[in-house]
Structure 1
């Protein structure tokens, strides 16, 4: 990271100067008041280190968005959380509404194909979700969402090299409650949610549930399809989700929780917008970015189901043990029309089928000067898929296979107070993982689909299944964390840390030969941060960081001279670096008026990408771009509380800014220009606390912005003319974020 040393020094000096001047100011402020007793700044609890702590005492760059803030901002899906977390990208992926593309600090995974591992870990109540399909979680029965930025290798293990997203549901206490909410909006939006808790045995045994039916008409339509009787709505929504929870506290020392959830997303396949006219069809470029064409069925399905059992025993005031057992499965038959024309130029009907099981045991200690979390972790998963790439309107590349993973880990992380002000943190995790994979591949001179009945009248025959890859590989990895924290006073802490994480090695799910596995990706990161509160009204948290991302898994050959040939051999050929700054502020100006700011800056680039030229390796890093990573993100929000005889009102607004960012990593030809989203909300609460209502207007200026893309062109010639690529057409496709929407939510609690 030598090239960033100078930039890092400038940033460090800037924060150090601020610290020097502010420490004196903080000391003066602390003489008269303490933020601990302040009514203006809310005490925020997080579990970033797998134990309950206050946000200001955790030496981790973490954003926590609570249930009230989520509701008042009208946040209905996890992807909207990106607005409140610096240097964070959470987008609905290409082709479906509920497949997640997640990047934090320039680290993530662009391709959601089975076998590829994510770079940002998604957790629901401490249970890891291994696949991105279905990971765009709707906000149902949630207490808070935490965004942990930077590698979390010691506590959370593999595939958290960019960070982790934690979806924390509510624990039950008190009397019986039922919550009913209904949301109505433009584009025919109708959301109905019911949640409740029933005390079966007072203060001991609770039954909780949450159900949601979420629907919306499409933002656009499929203007032309080659199949009859298709639903032509594009970007529509049709989701049913349910959760059942049982909590049992037989004594003060024991706690049990059982969760079961099921989500079924039957929204249509998402059609992309053609940015270039097709060379093979006369269908014009659509007028609306939400309109498309397709030659595949528009129906789609993403179904997720899972259960977990948590048991916790408090041995005494210092020691506790915890067990988390969980299993999940996902089934997703999907239709992805890459070329988005009525012709079968490049269509991919596919099936994803995943299962996972995990078991974690924890032994935790919380003493006066020492706290630590330790554990054993087991994970077993089977990630399978089958796709048929239909090309040239006449032939099919049939590919299927599985990547199976079994891993064991032992970890521990503790903090020791050397003095009342100085403490050190030390953590480590050792992981051993075994992966096996098989891939079959065949080419047919006919149009085929994964299973019979995919289109009316289609029957899949006894087609050849030629095995091209059968492999097995074992890796082990030690991932450390070390840090130091200094509590300047009750309201200010500074910290510095080094951490490492890794993303699992894998086999190529698109293999054409029995190629070897690629090794894990590694991220090394250093951070310098401050957590502070001022005059009982202002909270300022800031972090500067630098990271090095090594052994990135990419195509191991240079782009083919013939762009109609898709070569996808993998290798650990890439390396990138990044440096950045993150700032989060909350200012309680008065009891009624609050301001929030989240700002992120990052400078990231590929420093090396090696490609075999037949005789040696060339560095082709100049054609690689760190995708989904704007150099700047910022969110400024304001809220104002109004008390009246008819109830209380909360009026809030925020403006979210994203700088330029690339949509595609390799030979990027699509860059989304900087844009901003302006949002407004008006929330009402009845005096008796039973009724609520909220009016939200999102993307007021109706900005059009790309969130995903496919590039299968052959580039441009010297005259700027686009050349055909894979499939024989100029396929340059973009997917867009939500247009301007208005919604009214009415809630009743009894």
Structure 2
């Protein structure tokens, strides 16, 4: 098994079963001070207990590639949301241009790279207290009162309610305690950063009922300055509340009620000028000429000056919350678990989709209201027997209502139409052109799943799993387009925003499974081999369809076929030198047929991509995770991943910008060389053999911590100095790789210096991106093949102070 950096940072990973864990689970008390915040759990003489297989087990014996981060490590490394975990997890990728348009991938797989399409599933499942979160946007919120995070790599459909073909992020919050306790954490930093977290827990009725209440708030001034409005953009403004109540109804029955609410309302999210690249549009229709014709210049052509002049107000407001009830009933040989949940997500955005200060697209927003209901029922054996098992049933129902609005401005004609035509010379042609999109969606999923563990001997386990899944998706997409004059649409206008109406429908049964052989060589050396055959549900396009030559939607593109996954993995986990050294290795090979990809077509007015199936992709790689603790005061770790992810076959892909924008080639015509102004563009491109977007071939995380005993203000504790670094090599930021949108590799360094008193105070100063590395989180293209490349720079150097107190 592979154990990534997150495990090595397991500052407060669970070491005893929670009330929702079978009572026969192993217990291994750990002295966290002896272990240190960066050393892994075995080095301190204890074992981290995880619930990845729906029973409590020590992580080193679980034959799944996984890692764990504890609550203390999350606080001290500043990893307070999934995005920041990527600096600690070499195999995890997370990209976001705003909360809705976010993607979490593991080993390069999970979600198509590009704008989010509600009609498909995530490949990486996010679970909080065993409840599946259907919206990846939830990952942009702050972790609140988190006990631990387990990151599982590879298909997990035979263990989890919702099918997850790439992996799962399993978040566990702290449980109500019958011993009164409280925690407070306050952080301040530059850019007016403030974060406050607090929680309190204790009994309500003797040893029968306990409650936990927690809250968090995060605010920060934006790092990008809008010279037009005088506002700072890409700010943070997060607020969250969480409560849970545990009722120990009987010695063998406990019920936990959870409730949470979060609100996020920042001035976000802006992408702006990075560079230009030559396309095959005529020279007078590429960005430089178009901007000059409007007398326009961006405030700076250096994105790291961090200034913009976008003219549309930005908003990324979202609210989410829900209720869930977790019940565990120990019936002796087994424990029955029920998880009932309701969740909602409300999204109210405003974007500037032309990325400039020109009135090209003056309104671009897709407010959305989403609700989900889920029920999971499982039975799992207690203890260890010749045959152990987990069997489950899962039901999920989701509704989405979206009201999209796009309005073109007075500069749209010049940018989107041929300026030599009558329509292109007239700003009124597209000014006021408006599309109102009404989108409805229902998603029903049901499954039976299970995993059997056959303990052939004390050393050998055979672990087969099976899943029967049903998915049904229905949608309704209506786009009503009007112009500023209230007259019939012209051909120019329909070419930019065309009325559409279609009702896609998809349903499918599938059977998937996996089998693992796990062998204990010695008590400190474990090996496993896994094969999985998995499916990612098909879907429907809910962002509009490409148009045919008559500007009518191509209805055959309304549905997307399921992905079919073949996954192979070998893992080896070792501990040496009395568990002072940990070295874990994993090798994987995953092939996906009918891979769901985000594509665009050559039409000038297509501002949003749609989904299609690529023939086949493959990702393969090696991962290593290592930790060394030469003394009780000093810890070192280094983790890495080599990931070779590519399209094996994708013959009709969208072309990169340097091959787009010209006259579309007809039969017998030879496309022009890349970047030939006024050239001939291919109808589509064969990108077989190219790298998948969003994943680096090489990724590493590394760090160390040293502490010394100290007495400060009468408190006994340790002074500690810590360093965390990460590196990612070049990756593509466009579905079809382009020299214009490659993001160069970069390395980040974070430091902290603090004092920690046992079970009370922790005070530390921190410095993140210490060397002010200039890097991009994502790059994108302005629509219409103008050659404008826009981007979102990563955070600059930040620093601050954190003070926390446990009572």
Cα offset, 1:563, TM superposition: 4.3
**Residues 471 and 95 of structure 1: CA distance in aligned 2, closer, same or farther (over 3 Å):** closer
Kept in 2, the 8 Å contact 1:73–1:652? The answer is no
What aligned pairs does 1:145-184 form with structure 2 within 5 A after superposition?
145-156=149-160, 158=162, 160-184=164-188
C-alpha distance in structure 2 between counterparts of 1:549 and 1:147, whole Å: 21
- Which of 505, 527, 540 aligns to 1:494? It is 527
Q: Does 1:523 align with 2:565?
A: yes
SS of match in other structure, 1:49: coil
Find the counterpart in structure 2 of residue 208 from structure 1. 212
- Which of 576, 580, 584 aligns to 1:534? It is 576
Kept in 1, the 8 Å contact 2:481–2:498? The answer is no
SS of match in other structure, 1:86: coil
Find the counterpart in structure 2 of residue 476 from structure 1. 509
Kept in 2, the 8 Å contact 1:593–1:640? The answer is yes
What aligned pairs does 1:328-347 form with structure 2 within 5 A after superposition?
328-346=343-361, 347=363
Q: Tell me whether 523-532 or 199-208 shows the greater mean CA deviation.
A: 199-208
Kept in 2, the 8 Å contact 1:637–1:655? The answer is yes
Find the counterpart in structure 2 of residue 365 from structure 1. 381
Find the counterpart in structure 2 of residue 352 from structure 1. 368
Kept in 1, the 8 Å contact 2:98–2:316? The answer is no
Find the counterpart in structure 2 of residue 683 from structure 1. 754
Write out per-residue CA displacement over residues 580-621 of structure 1, whole angstroms, 9 at most, x where no aligned residue. Answer: 001111212111111111110111110111439999998712
Q: Tell me whether 305-314 or 465-474 shows the greater mean CA deviation.
A: 465-474
Cα offset, 1:501, TM superposition: 2.9
Kept in 1, the 8 Å contact 2:299–2:309? The answer is no
SS of match in other structure, 1:199: strand
Kept in 1, the 8 Å contact 2:648–2:689? The answer is no
- Which of 135, 142, 149 aligns to 2:139? It is 135
What aligned pairs does 1:338-487 form with structure 2 within 5 A after superposition?
338-346=353-361, 347-366=363-382, 367-391=384-408, 392=412, 394=431, 395-446=433-484, 468-487=501-520
C-alpha distance in structure 2 between counterparts of 1:37 and 1:167, whole Å: 19
For these two proteins, the number of residue pairs brought into alignment is 677
C-alpha distance in structure 2 between counterparts of 1:565 and 1:362, whole Å: 46
C-alpha distance in structure 1 between counterparts of 2:605 and 2:41, whole Å: 66
Cα offset, 1:405, TM superposition: 0.7
Cα offset, 1:342, TM superposition: 2.1
C-alpha distance in structure 2 between counterparts of 1:201 and 1:567, whole Å: 55
Q: Does 1:276 align with 2:291?
A: no
Kept in 2, the 8 Å contact 1:257–1:310? The answer is yes
**Residues 345 and 196 of structure 1: CA distance in aligned 2, closer, same or farther (over 3 Å):** same
Kept in 1, the 8 Å contact 2:727–2:746? The answer is yes
- Which of 612, 628, 651 aligns to 1:571? It is 612
Find the counterpart in structure 2 of residue 106 from structure 1. 108
Cα offset, 1:555, TM superposition: 6.1
Unaligned runs of 5+ in 1: 1-34, 226-230, 449-463, 714-723
Find the counterpart in structure 1 of residue 321 from structure 2. 305
Q: Does 1:95 align with 2:98?
A: yes
Unaligned runs of 5+ in 2: 1-38, 277-286, 413-429, 487-496, 546-552, 654-664, 669-682
Find the counterpart in structure 1 of residue 422 from structure 2. none
C-alpha distance in structure 1 between counterparts of 2:611 and 2:347, whole Å: 25
SS of match in other structure, 1:133: helix
Kept in 2, the 8 Å contact 1:353–1:385? The answer is yes
Kept in 2, the 8 Å contact 1:326–1:359? The answer is yes
Cα offset, 1:248, TM superposition: 1.2
Cα offset, 1:550, TM superposition: 1.4
Find the counterpart in structure 1 of residue 778 from structure 2. 708
Cα offset, 1:173, TM superposition: 2.8
C-alpha distance in structure 2 between counterparts of 1:248 and 1:157, whole Å: 24
Write out per-residue CA displacement over residues 89-129 of structure 1, whole angstroms, 9 at most, x where no aligned residue. Answer: 123x1134x76321111102223232232221111111111
CA RMSD of aligned residues (A): 2.7
SS of match in other structure, 2:503: strand
Find the counterpart in structure 1 of residue 57 from structure 2. 53
Find the counterpart in structure 2 of residue 626 from structure 1. 692
C-alpha distance in structure 2 between counterparts of 1:576 and 1:447, whole Å: 48
Kept in 2, the 8 Å contact 1:154–1:427? The answer is yes
**Residues 615 and 401 of structure 1: CA distance in aligned 2, closer, same or farther (over 3 Å):** farther
Cα offset, 1:74, TM superposition: 2.9
C-alpha distance in structure 2 between counterparts of 1:125 and 1:424, whole Å: 28
SS of match in other structure, 2:175: coil
Cα offset, 1:568, TM superposition: 5.2
C-alpha distance in structure 2 between counterparts of 1:288 and 1:50, whole Å: 47
C-alpha distance in structure 2 between counterparts of 1:85 and 1:101, whole Å: 15
Write out per-residue CA displacement over residues 141-170 of structure 1, whole angstroms, 9 at most, x where no aligned residue. Answer: 001111111121222255522211111111
**Residues 400 and 552 of structure 1: CA distance in aligned 2, closer, same or farther (over 3 Å):** farther
Cα offset, 1:283, TM superposition: 2.9
Kept in 1, the 8 Å contact 2:445–2:471? The answer is yes
